Chains A and B, each alone.
Chain A
Amino acid sequence: MATLEHYLILSAILFCIGVFGLLSRRNAVGILMSIELMFNSANINFVAFSKFINPDILTGQIFSVFVIAIAAAEAAVGLAIVVLLYRNFDIVNIDKINFMKW
Chain B
Amino acid sequence: MIEYSYIIAFLPLLSYALIVFFFSKSNKMASGVAITAVLTSFVLSTIVLFEVLADHGPHIFEYEWISMPGLELPLSIYIDPLAAVMLMVVTIVSSCVHIYSIGYMHGDPRFPRFFSFLSLFTFSMLGLVISGTFFATFIFWELVGLTSYLLIGFWFEKKVAADAGKKAFITTKIGDLGFLAGLLILYAAAGTLNYEDIYHLIEHHQIPVIILSAAGILLFCGAVGKSAQFPLHVWLPDAMEGPTPVSALIHAATMVAAGVYLTARIMSIIVVSESAAITIAYIGGFTALMAASIGLVQNDIKRVLAYSTVSQLGYMILALGCGGYTAGTFHLMTHAFFKALLFLGAGSVIHAAHTNDIQEMGGLAKKMPITSKTFFIASLSIAGIFPLSGFWSKDEIFLSILEEGHIGLLILAIVVAGMTAFYMFRLCFLTFTGEPRNKEKYEHAHESPNTMTYPLIFLAILAVCAGWVGIPWLHHGYASFVYHHHPHHPHPNYMLMLIGTIVAVGGIYLAYLMYYKRSIDPVAMGARFKGIYTFLFNKWWFDELYMGTVIRFVYWFMEVLYRFDQGVIDWFVNFVGRFGLFNARFWQTFDVYVIDGAVNGAGIVTRWFAGGLRKIQTGAVQNYAFVVFLGVVLFILFRFM
Which A residues fall within an 8 A CB radius of B?
A: 19, 22-24, 31, 94-95, 97-102
Contact = CB atoms under 8 A, between A and B. Distances in A.
Contact of A94 (B614, B617, B622): B622
A87 B247 CA distance: 114
A47 to B, nearest CB: 22
B67 interface: no
B625 A22 contact: yes
12 contacts: A23-B622, A23-B625, A23-B626, A23-B629, A31-B622, A94-B622, A95-B620, A97-B619, A98-B620, A100-B619, A101-B617, A102-B614
B621 interface: yes
Contact of B620 (A22, A24, A94): A94
A98 B629 contact: no
Question: 4 smallest A-B Cβ distances: which pairs?
Answer: A101-B619, A98-B619, A102-B614, A100-B619
B519 interface: no
Contacts of B625: 22-23
B618 A101 contact: yes
A98 B622 CA distance: 10
A89 B263 CA distance: 118
Nearest to A102: B614
Contacts, number: 29
Interface of B is mostly: helix
B119 to A, nearest CB: 92
A31 B625 CA distance: 11
Contacts of B614: 101-102
Contacts of B626: 23
B621 A97 contact: yes
A99 B619 contact: yes
A58 B458 CA distance: 146
A24 to B, nearest CB: 8
B453 to A, nearest CB: 111
B629 A19 contact: yes
A102 B622 contact: no
Contacts of A100: 619
A6 B325 CA distance: 150
A86 B455 CA distance: 124
Contacts of B619: 97-101
Nearest to B633: A19
Contacts of A23: 622, 625-626, 629
B505 to A, nearest CB: 126
B615 to A, nearest CB: 9
Nearest to B626: A23
Contacts of B621: 31, 94, 97
Given A101-B614, A101-B619, 17 more contacts: A22-B625, A23-B622, A23-B625, A23-B626, A31-B621, A95-B622, A97-B619, A97-B620, A97-B621, A98-B618, A98-B619, A98-B620, A99-B619, A100-B619, A101-B617, A101-B618, A102-B617
